[in-house]
Amino acid sequence: MALDIDLDSLRCFVAVAETLHFRSAADKLYRSPAAVSDRIRRLEETLEIELFQRTTRRVALTDAGRRLLPHAREMLADADRCGRVAAGDGRPLPFSLTIGTRYELGLSWLVPSLRPLAARRPERTVHLYMGDTADLLDRMERGRIDACVLSAGP
| 1 in any annotated domain | no
Confidence (pLDDT) at 116: 83
Looking at the structure, tell me whether residues 51 and 117 fall in a common domain. Answer: no
Which residues sit opposite 130 in a β-bridge? Answer: 101
| 154 in any annotated domain | no
Using the predicted structure, report yes or no on whether residue 154 has a pLDDT greater than 60: no
Confidence (pLDDT) at 89: 65
- Rounded to whole angstroms, the Cα distance separating 3 from 153 reads 47
Higher pLDDT, 30 or 91: 30
CATH number at residue 133: 3.40.190.10
Confidence (pLDDT) at 150: 86
- What does pLDDT average to over the chain? 87
Question: Are 128 and 110 contacting, i.e. CB atoms less than 8 angstroms apart?
Answer: yes
Q: Convert the pLDDT of each residue in 4-58 to its tens digit.
A: 889 999 999 999 999 999 999 999 999 999 999 999 999 999 999 999 999 888 9
- Rounded to whole angstroms, the Cα distance separating 49 from 65 reads 9
Looking at the structure, tell me whether residues 99 and 43 fall in a common domain. Answer: no
Q: Convert the pLDDT of each residue in 104-138 to its tens digit.
A: 888 888 888 888 877 887 777 888 899 998 999 99
Looking at the structure, tell me whether residues 26 and 61 fall in a common domain. Answer: yes
Domain containing 34 equals: 7-86
- Rounded to whole angstroms, the Cα distance separating 25 from 17 reads 8
Confidence (pLDDT) at 55: 87
pTM for the full predicted model: 0.58
Residue where a domain stops, chosen among 86, 112, 131: 86
Within 13 A of 35's CA, how many CA atoms are on the CB side? 13
Looking at the structure, tell me whether residues 13 and 82 fall in a common domain. Answer: yes
